[in-house]
A and B are shown apart, each in its own frame.
Chain A
Amino acid sequence: MIEVAHLTKRYGAQLAVDDVSFTCEPGTVTGFLGPNGAGKSTTMRMICGLTPPTGGHATVAGRPYRRLPNPGREVGLLLDASAQHPGRTGRETLALAAQLLGVPESRVGDLLALVDLPASAARKRVGAYSLGMRQRLGLAQALLGEPRALILDEPANGLDPEGIFWMRGLLRDFADRGGTVLLSSHLLREVEAVADRLVMIGNGRILAQGAKDELLAGAGTRVRALDPGALHRALAAAGLAHTPAGGGALLVDADAEAVGRAAAAAGLVLLELGSRGAHGLEEMFLSLTTTPEGTAR
């Protein structure tokens, strides 16, 4: 369980995170989405007590993170895979964390196997690792303390498609066994396959949040009829707001059933009818987050 309430972070004149609130329930994967510099990492660091918030607070497992006596046993973190000492071997990196957490060092071998880092790679120094290998090492470190929650910042960066698929399975399995997962990404496609809930952030503010299915459904319906003019009139008569979507298709602010019924009532022949789904969400996401100051840190 991760609870975030009104977290705010101000750097000088700039508001990096502005009144962000959300909750991650056990058994769910929450996708934390936003373009680079939207405030995702800052929010995550505030949850973990690494960045002092200007306002608001967060709790993990019912307590502020810094009050957890042994936080690595409650929540596994992967905030930046490249933040490892390059002169230390992968195995040694995990062994150190195991010693701090108070878990038997035998778990190191188990986790290296779990994240598919072979013994030959584990003996190498982290400086020689690819980003994908560092992500795997970081994930192993996060899982080392058998936590009930995971907070992962852009864990798919640097992973190949197979690796991304593998990680999805691992996170889904973790959540299905009652774990809580919060993972960030700047790519909707990357998280929509695994997340139950989405929290979208842009310029430090939450733009939308909710169950993934609801958000996807709320993105509208794409419809195309043999007679576009008649469809336009039928939708207007049914009181459904719509906009042209190119190619004679219309984008309707309603679910597929409502659009289909309106078309059927007018006796129209439809060529296309479907939820805009992730595509619509992505467009909404882009339109909401693209602002002139979108490049700020």
Chain B
Amino acid sequence: MSVTAPARTTEVMITYPAPSLWRLTVVELRKMADTRAGAWLLAITVLLAAAVVVVVTTAGEATDLTFPALLAPTLLPAAVLLPVLGVLSVTGEWSHRTTLTTYALVPRRMRVTAAKVLAALALAALAYAACLAATAAALPFADAGADPWRIPAQFLGRTGLFLVVNVLLGVAFGLALMNSALAVVLYFVLPIGWSILGELVTALHRPAEWLDLSVTSGLLLEPVMTGRDWARLGTSAAVWIVAPFVLGLLRLHRREVK
């Protein structure tokens, strides 16, 4: 009790260390996979990716297939569904009110968020590795083009970044909106909205080029990316990832946990 502890105090004061960021990240990864929704989402992602590989390699029209040409479609299921897992990793805590446990056990909320981001990135890395392996395994069975194993290093980097951008988008949406349904719906509707509006309103053509993240992130899968392409990607990422992220962190810092 008292600040100057008397010598006769027999009780040993043990200070238990805080969980490391590594431990928090492992826990967050586990939380993504150990619920019914999480397990299904992961299973569906794997099945879809496998189906894409099989269909693309065996379908008749796929001639002159190369590693990059097969990798790009294989990545799509993960690029579409892993962000949902990223959304749910953040919003699921609010909708099921497990924040009451999470932020009671780890009061430093920013650390929890950091762990969630790292867990989402780790999941993206795992998915990427799995897609690379699946592509490499399927390529020998395909009607391969000339020099199918030529894999430009920068293409590998860009496709990896493609996954990362999408997963971070999910986490950012989840953070900013803190509501599963809203964040998931918006994540899917926003690109559709852009393309519909972009078609209808000519004045939106140019802004969409710079702000529609589904288009600008798709540039990462193109064979060549110009400096202007990178600027377009950076601009849209700042609007749809960085801004919601900052907004979400501010909200989280103040929000009452009930």
Query: Which residues on A are within 8 Å of B, measured CB to CB?
Result: 1, 45, 48-52, 62, 65-66, 68-74, 77, 79-80, 82-89, 92, 96-97, 99-102, 125, 141, 145
Chain A-chain B contacts (Cβ-Cβ < 8 Å), number: 91
Is A48 touching B104 in the complex (CB atoms < 8 A)?
yes
Is A80 touching B104 in the complex (CB atoms < 8 A)?
no
CB neighbors of A among B77-113 (8 A):
92, 96-98, 100-101, 103-108
Is B101 touching A141 in the complex (CB atoms < 8 A)?
yes
Is A70 touching B97 in the complex (CB atoms < 8 A)?
no
Is B30 touching A99 in the complex (CB atoms < 8 A)?
yes
Is A97 touching B96 in the complex (CB atoms < 8 A)?
no
Is B36 touching A125 in the complex (CB atoms < 8 A)?
yes
Q: Which one of A87, A92, A141, A145 has the greatest number of beta carbons of chain B within 10 Å?
A: A87
Is B15 touching A69 in the complex (CB atoms < 8 A)?
yes
For A145, the chain B residues whose CB sits under 8 A away are 16
Q: CB-nearest residue of chain B relative to A68?
A: B107
Is B16 touching A74 in the complex (CB atoms < 8 A)?
yes
Measured in the bound complex, the distance between the Cα atoms of B34 and A49 in whole Å is 28
For A88, the chain B residues whose CB sits under 8 A away are 34-35
Measured in the bound complex, the distance between the Cα atoms of B103 and A49 in whole Å is 9
Measured in the bound complex, the distance between the Cα atoms of B26 and A82 in whole Å is 25
Measured in the bound complex, the distance between the Cα atoms of B254 and A141 in whole Å is 26
Number of interface residues of B (CB under 8 A): 33
* Interface residue? B6 (CB, 8 A): no
Is A70 touching B100 in the complex (CB atoms < 8 A)?
no
For B38, the chain A residues whose CB sits under 8 A away are 87
Is B258 touching A45 in the complex (CB atoms < 8 A)?
yes
Is B105 touching A83 in the complex (CB atoms < 8 A)?
no
Nearest Cβ on chain A to B27's Cβ, whole angstroms: 5
Contacts A45-B258, A71-B105, A72-B105 given; does A50 touch B31 at CB 8 Å: no
Q: CB-nearest residue of chain B relative to A64?
A: B107
Q: CB-nearest residue of chain A relative to B37?
A: A87
Query: A-facing mask of B108-134, CB < 8 A → 1, else 0?
Result: 100000000000000000000000000
Measured in the bound complex, the distance between the Cα atoms of B92 and A51 in whole Å is 20
* Interface residue? B44 (CB, 8 A): no
Query: Which residues on B are within 8 Å of A, measured CB to CB?
Result: 1, 15-19, 23-24, 26-27, 30-31, 34-38, 92, 96-98, 100-101, 103-108, 254, 256-258
Is B96 touching A77 in the complex (CB atoms < 8 A)?
no
Is A83 touching B256 in the complex (CB atoms < 8 A)?
no
Residue among B34, B97, B107 making CB contact with A66, cutoff 8 Å: B107
For A45, the chain B residues whose CB sits under 8 A away are 256-258
For A52, the chain B residues whose CB sits under 8 A away are 254, 256
Residue among B30, B98, B107 making CB contact with A49, cutoff 8 Å: B107
Is B97 touching A96 in the complex (CB atoms < 8 A)?
no
Is B16 touching A79 in the complex (CB atoms < 8 A)?
no
Nearest Cβ on chain B to A240's Cβ, whole angstroms: 40
For B19, the chain A residues whose CB sits under 8 A away are 70, 100-102
Is A87 touching B30 in the complex (CB atoms < 8 A)?
no
For B258, the chain A residues whose CB sits under 8 A away are 45, 50-51
Measured in the bound complex, the distance between the Cα atoms of B38 and A89 in whole Å is 13
Is B100 touching A99 in the complex (CB atoms < 8 A)?
no
Measured in the bound complex, the distance between the Cα atoms of B23 and A84 in whole Å is 21
Residue among A49, A70, A83, A89 making CB contact with B101, cutoff 8 Å: A83
Is B26 touching A99 in the complex (CB atoms < 8 A)?
yes
Is B256 touching A50 in the complex (CB atoms < 8 A)?
yes
Is A87 touching B104 in the complex (CB atoms < 8 A)?
no
For A65, the chain B residues whose CB sits under 8 A away are 107
For B103, the chain A residues whose CB sits under 8 A away are 50
Can you name 14 extra interface pairs (CB under 8 A) apart from A49-B104, A51-B257, A71-B105? A45-B256, A50-B104, A51-B258, A66-B107, A70-B16, A70-B19, A82-B97, A85-B96, A99-B23, A99-B26, A100-B105, A100-B106, A102-B16, A125-B36
Measured in the bound complex, the distance between the Cα atoms of B26 and A88 in whole Å is 17
Residue among B34, B96, B256 making CB contact with A86, cutoff 8 Å: B96
For B98, the chain A residues whose CB sits under 8 A away are 83-85
Measured in the bound complex, the distance between the Cα atoms of B23 and A74 in whole Å is 19
Nearest Cβ on chain A to B28's Cβ, whole angstroms: 10
Is A100 touching B107 in the complex (CB atoms < 8 A)?
no
Measured in the bound complex, the distance between the Cα atoms of B103 and A82 in whole Å is 16
Nearest Cβ on chain B to A14's Cβ, whole angstroms: 14
